[in-house]
Amino acid sequence: MPPPPARQPRAALAPAAAPTLSGAVLERLRRDILECRWSPGARLRFEALRAHYAVGISPLREALSRLAVEGLVVGVDRRGFRVAPVSLDDLDEITDLRCEIEGLALRWSIERGDDGWEAAIVAAFHHLSRVNSELPGRVPRLSDEWERRHTAFHHAMAAACGSARLMQLRAQLFDQTNRYRRLVIAYSKVPRDDRGEHRALMDAALARDAERAVALIHRHIRHTADLVRAIYGAKGAETLARTAGRGRLRPAAARRAA
């Protein structure tokens, strides 16, 4: 499939709008779900959410409706919401879709990217390689700083594709994968050369070798899914959710009763 035609940037018509209250709540809720602070399947009760996020029902309902479109929450009885559950079937679907979308975005970026795109990839890889992925401790967990830099690296790889819709879908699938990865990190015992995998991706992109780059991104994505699948199968969803949720959010009343 050929890449879309290049687009001329739009002239700025007005200053960027300040973030809305619902937008701010959306970002906080999304982050808390992706980091498993709200465990998979957890009921998201409006009173508890109001107390925790210190906002009213309207911005919460709007944020949760947006997250439902993204697949991170599901509606319950037409009135409430739960965090989307996890399953191996869901993981497989996310993995297959992400391989297709990431591969397409990367291929288009290699065909269209300029030297600014190349420089951004090199800079993103350098920043990523300067931090460790896991934080030390009795229960390993992902470094938030590494996660931010990891997200930035994969965004940079696809950023020259020329399609805002493709980038939006790519980001949603990337986030869905990361939620699964956070669930199993405490049980991951298999060493992984993340830095080597990312360097190989960078090198293939800079060499404009689309076939190799796409094959590498597919292997990279499926490697993550295989690790998650193996641990998920051994531990089960409830154990993973309980471990990932040790720092989970709870309403004040529940904390007092604990």
d(C-alpha 187, C-alpha 231), whole Å: 7
**Would you give the DSSP letter of residue 85?**
P
Q: Are residues 59 and 155 in the same domain?
A: no
pLDDT at 229: 85
pLDDT at 8: 39
pLDDT at 5: 58
pLDDT at 97: 97
pLDDT at 160: 98
Walking along the chain (258 residues) 10 residues at a time, the average pLDDT comes out as: 51 44 87 88 92 92 92 84 91 96 98 98 96 61 84 98 97 91 73 91 98 98 89 68 51 33
Number of domains in the chain: 2
pLDDT at 135: 56
Q: Are residues 133 and 193 in the same domain?
A: yes
Domain that holds residue 114: 88-240
Q: 215: number of CA atoms within 13 Å, CB side?
A: 7
pLDDT at 64: 94
Q: Which two tokens stand for residue 69?
A: 């479109």
Contact 204, 213 (CB under 8 A): yes
Return all residues near 250 (Cβ < 8 A) that are at least 6 apart: 48, 258
Q: Are residues 177 and 188 in the same domain?
A: yes
Q: Are residues 67 and 114 in the same domain?
A: no
Q: Helices (H), strands (E): how many in the chain? A: 11, 5
Residue 216 lies in a domain: yes
* pTM for this entry: 0.80
d(C-alpha 222, C-alpha 92), whole Å: 9
Residue 16 lies in a domain: no
